[in-house]
Structure 1
Amino acid sequence: MRFLSSLLMSVVAAGFLAMSPAFAQSLLAKDVKPSGLTLTQSKQVLRVVMKHERYKVASPKLWIDGPWLTDGKPVVSGYYHFGVIYVTNTQGHYAVNTSTGDVWDVEACERYAFPALLEIQKRISLKTGKELASDDDARSQLGCP
């Protein structure tokens, strides 16, 4: 019985993973311009990361604050910075690169990389002609140690 239960869980998990690339392809397949992601598209990419991190994105109590600006400009050129808020508590600070879809947790200075996001980033890069920066270059841009 335990074997069947484990097998069923594996099949269900594989099904969810199989759906991720299709979701990723449909998410940004339309209208990414050579100039990069719009604010709305950047938030869509962040939502993919939030779902991956198991945020309850359908909750009306969870929302994305931002983009954060300094003197009307992005905090870091080429990135939209956001806060993820649950009720009144900040859950995290994130940066989305508008040319590549690269997503960073700016508090932990960690880059997100998983199959669905990598598929989205590949599609964005094809439209913009830009590639993901090296880890060191991106850390430097974002002010990470």
Structure 2
Amino acid sequence: MQFLRQLRALVIVLGLMACLPAFAQTLDVKNIKPSGLTLSQSKQVLRVVMKHERYKMSSPKLSIDGPWLTDGKPVVPGYFHFGVVYVTSTQGHYAVNTSTGDVWDTESCERYTFPALIAIQKQISIKTGKKLASDDDARSELGCP
């Protein structure tokens, strides 16, 4: 019985590891500059989150709107803000940190964290030399309570 549990755990871990490259391939980490993610790269990171959240990003009715700017500059320095839109209805508001790949739902003030995203964020951090902010610091930057 112990062997079967260990085997099942191994199969699950190997399955998750097999998924990581598929997610990581959506972002060409070789082209990340020390200054951080480009607009296109930030959208790619957001797409990883949306796929994880089971949005059908291949649907022509679903799109990413943004970045939202104020006077031609990001709403919050260091973040691109986007809306995910289905036809004409906004499904949610999101912020992507350009130095770390940190992704937040800015309506609920929730940070996304899951293995594939963490793997991408580690690659981004290696390129930029920046680490994810603490929950409190990131919340403060984004104006979350």
Is the shorter-chain TM-score for this pair beyond 0.5, marking a shared fold? yes
- Asked if the contact 1:24–1:119 (Cα under 8 Å) also holds between the matched residues in 2, the reply is no
**What SS does the aligned partner of 1:64 have?**
strand
Question: Residue 5 of structure 1 corresponds to which residue in structure 2?
Answer: none
Identity %: 74
Tell me, in whole angstroms, the C-alpha distance in 1 between the residues paired with 2:47 and 2:100: 16
Which consecutive aligned stretches of 4+ in structure 1 deviate over 4 angstroms post-superposition? 12-16
Offset, 1:28? 3.1
TM-score by length of 2: 0.88
Contact 1:36/1:99 (8 A) holds in 2? yes
Aligned to 2:38: 38
What letter matches 1:21 in structure 2?
Answer: L
Partner residue in 2 for 1:18: 17
Q: Structure 2 unaligned runs (5+)?
A: 1-8
Distance, in Å, in 2 between the alignment partners of 1:14 and 1:59 is: 30
Tell me, in whole angstroms, the C-alpha distance in 1 between the residues paired with 2:23 and 2:133: 21
Whether contact under 8 Å (1:24, 1:116) holds in the other structure is yes
Residue by residue, what CA displacement relative to the aligned partner does 1:67-100 show, whole Å, maximum 9, x if unpaired? 0000000000000000000001100000000000
Structure 1 alignment gaps of length 5 or more: 1-9
CA distance in 2: counterparts of 1:20 and 1:37, whole angstroms: 23
Query: Aligned to 1:30, what secondary structure does the other structure show?
Result: helix
Q: What number of residue pairs does the alignment pair up?
A: 136
Q: How does 1:105-144 map to 2 (within 5 A)?
A: 105-144=105-144
Relative to 1, partners in 2 of residues 1:99 and 1:16: Cα closer, same or farther, differing over 3 Å?
same
Structure-2 change in CA distance of 1:57 and 1:16 (3 Å): farther
Q: Secondary structure at the match of 2:40?
A: helix
Coordinate RMSD, CA, aligned: 1.8
Aligned partner of residue 113 in structure 2, secondary structure: coil
Q: 1:28·1:123 contact (CA, 8 Å) conserved in 2?
A: no
Task: Supply the distance in 2 between the matched residues of 1:105 and 1:70 (Cα, whole angstroms).
Answer: 19
